[in-house]
């Protein structure tokens, strides 16, 4: 026992110095004396890739930094970084394989792109190319064509100065290989691409018109809404790739293998502009290759498609629709390439030739860098001009400007308000805060339509704000609608207070986390209205904002900006839309937009304060049913413990001969699974009463409990029949039941 005590005492004595060495006492921080100013400095390094070519298109060598003049917004800048990148264009033959090479284990690719410190040139005299395979936009033959073209390039055309990285996108972006000049590694990565993955996402959106493909199912789904989010995700992946590559000051080319990007429905054009701006800021030129090659589809499609449902194949409507859809899918690729200084390659089956032309465009260039003397972090666009001082004649190519960074914490109240105003007209949209938006229309007079706008915001933004310890946060909303002549016909400026529940606890590990319904946040509440409360499960509960405009039939452009005021995250949604003229004679039954919903809020909660609206205005609002307001489910994702609410108006139905004040509308709702088999049916129900505040409108409301519906993806089809007028309509939409 005594020996054990001595040993414990000795160990304690020996451990004291080690403990003291591991956690040394911190020296007290002495604040600066009163009246002594503290200076903080920061530098904004701007990198330019300048290509100087003579009249014959050949690179001009031997220029010095003193031969160039760089101007930013008309002010001269001092060149601090200067280097000439001499890049070879002579293909390098494959190396001979020795016996030792055959027994050597292949080198594993580095699946992470790492850049050097800002301003440091990591690759001297190298051509940086990124192969971006977007399998979500390519059918299987297109995927194989892209794979074969890339492999042929690596075999026959790669040079000693080429370094290539490989990115892959199906539903998320993946780095398959960092920049490397080892063609064996690149070849092995490309050969192992998962051919066939995500090819089902490459189909064009089916809007259910009569000229669409006949799949032998009862009716097809209108997949427009889901394609909106799919398109935005593809463009967001390009933006993410540009931000990955921003740390490399060298000139870079993104070879984007795609089967076209179809943009249908209510698209967020702000995401397209954000992707272009991110690529421009990263000195990244996009070279878009349409892997479909030269196509010559006969009217109605090839043998792999079903025939047309209607008579359009005989009058040319099907062929016109085919060409319009095909050209529209190439338009986004052309915009990405043209706006970033790259090129687009269409209607060519030689994928390798397109990659080779990209290689030729990435010839020798001068790398210039300067520290901007404009330190304002205002997010504004700054124009760059580069000229030669000597009398030497040369064609200079470089990016024309960039958007400055923004710092949220340094803005005062006036600056914040100005930021929102500028965001409505800025060319650099914000995408830090993801938005989902739905726009509908209802006829409220012969020449006027109510256009409700619903914006959904993920709860993760509020959860992030709650980490700062604040009690509340505020969402700011600014929106504007312009007509075809760019005249402003509608404005929204609103803010909503949200209480933050800092005590929200995360679920236990392994515990199921059910999705939560969106919380409706008030549209234009009174200044003294109580703030909405963020629920405990903030991170998985979304927030939804509703606004409305009264417009005449026509074409419009809408832009909304949303900002969360603790983190300063902003999101922009911009799109064109059309309000149809339902007063015109048509052969089909006239309907408003169909609202698919899983939630109804009391009017007092959904609109903030009921006394702001008269009873007449409440009755006239088609989104208000009784004492509750319908909250649109933008993503069409429902839970089995919820009810499915469907609301719409039927217009200009013929009177019932037995009762002229009534109408005879019958409605049923069917759910079809992915195989086109009807698995659920409700109805028929009758709708006979006209709305008292909307002309010739028969409101229809359906409520369907989903507890008996199996989980899965469905096509919801509403069958609407005017029994007197003998007209019908079959609006459809995809839904997911969880």
Q: Would you say residue 113 lies in a domain?
A: no
Q: Would you say residue 9 lies in a domain?
A: no
Contact indicator for 370, 70 with CB cutoff of 8 Å: yes
Q: How confident is the model at residue 217 (pLDDT cuts 50, 70, 90)?
A: very low
Q: Tell me what the mean pLDDT of segment 107-111 comes to.
A: 78
pLDDT of residue 326: 80
Measured between alpha carbons, how far is 686 from 703 in angstroms, rounded to an integer? Answer: 14
Please check the confidence at residue 567 and state whether its pLDDT lies above 70.
yes
Q: How confident is the model at residue 502 (pLDDT cuts 50, 70, 90)?
A: very low
Torsion of CA 261, 264, 267, 269, to 10 degrees: 50
Last residue of a domain, one of 350, 384, 403: 403
82 in helix, strand or coil? strand
Among 562, 576, 415, 413, which residue's Cα sits nearest to residue 479? 562
Q: What are the residues whose beta carbons fall under 8 Å from the beta carbon of 105, sequence distance 6 or more?
A: none
- Is the pLDDT higher at 332 or at 603? 332
For residues 627 and 729, state if they share a domain: yes
Q: Would you say residue 38 lies in a domain?
A: no
For residues 143 and 239, state if they share a domain: yes
In 159-283, at which residue ranges do the beta strands (DSSP E only) sit?
Answer: 162-169, 173-180, 252-258
Please check the confidence at residue 183 and state whether its pLDDT lies above 50.
yes
- Is the pLDDT higher at 323 or at 24? 323
Q: How confident is the model at residue 71 (pLDDT cuts 50, 70, 90)?
A: very high
Q: What is the pLDDT of residues 621-667, one digit of tens each?
A: 788 887 788 888 888 888 888 899 999 999 999 999 999 889 999 99
> How many C-beta neighbours within 10 Å does residue 663 have?
24
Which of 6-10, 390-394, 441-445, 702-706 is least confident?
6-10
| Residue 545: C-alpha distances to residues 474, 532, 660 (Å) | 13, 12, 40
| Residue 134: C-alpha distances to residues 168, 199, 205, 286 (Å) | 6, 10, 17, 13
pLDDT of residue 101: 64
Contact indicator for 266, 438 with CB cutoff of 8 Å: yes
Q: What are the residues whose beta carbons fall under 8 Å from the beta carbon of 411, sequence distance 6 or more?
A: 419, 568
- Is the pLDDT higher at 696 or at 295? 696
Please check the confidence at residue 530 and state whether its pLDDT lies above 70.
no
Measured between alpha carbons, how far is 137 from 289 in angstroms, rounded to an integer? Answer: 12
Q: What is the pLDDT of residues 78-101, one digit of tens each?
A: 998 888 888 887 887 776 666 676
Contacts 24+ apart (CB under 8 A), 683-688: 683/719, 687/650, 687/663, 688/656, 688/659, 688/662, 688/663, 688/664
Please check the confidence at residue 400 and state whether its pLDDT lies above 70.
yes
Q: Would you say residue 527 lies in a domain?
A: yes
For residues 528 and 589, state if they share a domain: no
| pTM of the predicted model as reported, rounded to 2 decimal places | 0.66
For residues 566 and 604, state if they share a domain: no
- Which tokens hold the place of 335? 């915009």
Q: Would you say residue 349 lies in a domain?
A: yes
For residues 422 and 331, state if they share a domain: no
Q: What are the residues whose beta carbons fall under 8 Å from the beta carbon of 332, sequence distance 6 or more?
A: 231, 235, 260, 261, 263, 272
Measured between alpha carbons, how far is 217 from 299 in angstroms, rounded to an integer? Answer: 21
Q: How many domains does the chain have?
A: 4
478 φ/ψ angles, rounded to the nearest 5 degrees: -140, 125
pLDDT of residue 231: 67
CATH number at residue 303: 3.40.50.410
For residues 687 and 565, state if they share a domain: no
Contact indicator for 647, 625 with CB cutoff of 8 Å: yes
Q: Tell me what the mean pLDDT of segment 429-440 comes to.
A: 82
Among 604, 492, 617, 623, which residue's Cα sits nearest to residue 549? 492
Measured between alpha carbons, how far is 481 from 502 in angstroms, rounded to an integer? Answer: 37
Measured between alpha carbons, how far is 412 from 414 in angstroms, rounded to an integer? Answer: 6
Helix or strand (DSSP H, E) at 153: helix 140-156
Q: Would you say residue 93 lies in a domain?
A: no
Mean pLDDT, the chain, as a whole number? 77
602 φ/ψ angles, rounded to the nearest 5 degrees: -55, 145
Interstrand relation of 543-551 and 448-457 (parallel, antiparallel or unpaired) = antiparallel
CATH number at residue 660: 2.60.40.770
Measured between alpha carbons, how far is 125 from 86 in angstroms, rounded to an integer? Answer: 5
Which of 69-73, 78-82, 423-427 is least confident?
423-427
pLDDT of residue 646: 92
For residues 420 and 397, state if they share a domain: no
Helix or strand (DSSP H, E) at 334: helix 317-339
For residues 450 and 311, state if they share a domain: no
Q: What is the pLDDT of residues 219-276, one digit of tens each?
A: 333 444 444 556 677 888 898 899 889 888 888 999 999 988 876 556 678 788 888 8
Among 661, 595, 591, which residue's Cα sits nearest to residue 624? 595
Largest CA distance in the chain: 111
Which domain range does residue 486 map to?
413-504+515-584
For residues 200 and 338, state if they share a domain: yes
In 126-251, at which residue ranges do the beta strands (DSSP E only) sit?
Answer: 127-134, 162-169, 173-180
**Residue whose pair of structure tokens reads 């030269």 in the numeric block:** 294
DSSP symbol at 508 = P
For residues 372 and 469, state if they share a domain: no
Q: Would you say residue 283 lies in a domain?
A: yes
Contact indicator for 553, 449 with CB cutoff of 8 Å: yes
Please check the confidence at residue 677 and state whether its pLDDT lies above 70.
yes
For residues 677 and 665, state if they share a domain: yes
Contact indicator for 299, 254 with CB cutoff of 8 Å: no
Q: Would you say residue 212 lies in a domain?
A: yes
For residues 579 and 650, state if they share a domain: no
């Amino acid at each position: 026992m005594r020996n054990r005590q001595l040993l414990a005492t000795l160990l304690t004595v020996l451990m004291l110095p080690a403990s003291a060495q591991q956690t040394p006492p911190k020296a007290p921080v002495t604040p600066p004396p009163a009246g002594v100013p503290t200076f903080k400095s920061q530098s904004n390094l701007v990198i330019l890739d300048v290509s100087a070519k003579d009249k014959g298109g050949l690179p001009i060598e031997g220029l010095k930094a003193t031969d160039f003049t760089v101007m930013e917004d008309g002010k001269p800048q001092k060149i601090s970084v200067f280097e000439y990148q001499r890049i070879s264009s002579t293909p390098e033959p494959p190396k001979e394989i020795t016996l030792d090479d055959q027994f050597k284990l292949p080198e594993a690719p580095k699946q992470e792109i790492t850049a050097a410190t800002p301003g440091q040139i990591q690759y001297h005299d190298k051509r940086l190319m990124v192969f971006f395979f977007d399998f979500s936009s390519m059918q299987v033959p297109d995927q194989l064509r892209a794979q074969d073209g890339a492999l042929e390039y690596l075999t026959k055309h790669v040079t000693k100065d080429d370094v290539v990285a490989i990115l892959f996108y199906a539903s998320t972006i993946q780095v398959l290989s960092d920049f490397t000049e080892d063609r064996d590694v690149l070849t092995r990565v490309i050969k192992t691409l998962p051919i066939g993955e995500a090819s089902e996402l490459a189909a064009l959106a089916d809007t259910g018109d009569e000229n669409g493909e006949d799949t032998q199912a009862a009716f097809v789904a209108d997949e427009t809404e889901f394609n909106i989010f799919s398109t935005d995700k593809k463009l967001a992946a390009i933006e993410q790739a540009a931000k990955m590559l921003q740390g490399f000051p060298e000139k870079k080319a993104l070879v984007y293998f795609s089967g076209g990007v179809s943009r249908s429905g209510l698209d967020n054009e702000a995401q397209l502009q954000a992707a272009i701006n991110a690529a421009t800021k990263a000195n990244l030129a996009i070279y878009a290759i349409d892997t479909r090659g030269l196509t010559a589809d006969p009217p109605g499609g090839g043998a792999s498609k079903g025939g047309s449902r209607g008579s359009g194949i005989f009058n040319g409507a099907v062929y016109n629709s085919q060409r319009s859809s095909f050209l529209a899918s190439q338009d986004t690729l052309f915009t990405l390439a043209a706006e970033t200084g790259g090129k687009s390659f269409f209607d060519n089956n030689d994928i390798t030739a397109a990659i080779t032309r990209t290689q030729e465009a990435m010839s020798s260039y001068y790398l210039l860098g300067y520290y901007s003397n404009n330190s304002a972090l205002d997010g504004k666009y700054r124009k760059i001009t580069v000229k030669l001082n000597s009398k030497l004649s040369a064609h200079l190519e470089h990016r024309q400007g960039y958007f400055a960074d923004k710092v949220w914490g340094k803005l005062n109240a006036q600056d914040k308000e100005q930021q929102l105003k500028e965001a409505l007209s800025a060319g650099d949209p914000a995408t830090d805060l993801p938005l989902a938006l739905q726009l509908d229309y209802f006829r409220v007079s012969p020449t006027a339509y109510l256009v409700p706008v619903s914006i959904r915001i993920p709860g993760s933004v509020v959860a992030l704000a709650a980490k700062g310890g604040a009690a509340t946060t505020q969402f700011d909303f600014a929106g504007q609608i312009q007509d075809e002549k760019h005249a402003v016909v509608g404005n929204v400026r609103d803010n909503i207070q949200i209480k933050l529940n800092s005590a929200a606890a995360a679920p236990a590990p392994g515990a199921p986390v059910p999705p939560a319904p969106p919380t409706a946040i008030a549209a234009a509440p009174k200044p003294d209205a109580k703030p909405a409360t963020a629920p405990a499960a903030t991170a998985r509960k979304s927030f939804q904002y509703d606004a409305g405009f009264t417009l005449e039939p026509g074409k419009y452009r809408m832009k909304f900006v949303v900002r969360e005021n603790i983190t300063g995250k902003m999101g922009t949604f911009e799109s064109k839309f059309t309000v149809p003229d339902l007063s015109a004679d048509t052969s089909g039954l006239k309907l408003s937009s169909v609202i698919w919903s899983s939630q109804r809020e009391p009017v007092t909660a959904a609109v903030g304060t009921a006394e702001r609206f008269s009873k007449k205005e409440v009755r006239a609002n088609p989104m208000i049913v009784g004492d509750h307001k319908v909250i649109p489910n933008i993503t069409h994702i429902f839970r089995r413990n919820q009810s499915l609410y469907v609301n719409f108006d039927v217009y200009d139905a013929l009177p019932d001969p037995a009762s002229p004040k009534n109408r005879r509308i019958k409605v049923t709702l069917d759910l079809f699974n992915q195989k086109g088999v009807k698995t659920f049916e409700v109805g028929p129900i009758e709708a006979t009463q006209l709305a008292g505040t909307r002309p010739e409108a028969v409101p229809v409301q359906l409520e369907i409990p989903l507890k008996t519906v199996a989980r899965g993806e469905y096509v919801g089809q509403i069958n609407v029949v005017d029994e007197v007028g003998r007209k019908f309509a079959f609006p459809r939409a995809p839904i997911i039941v969880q």
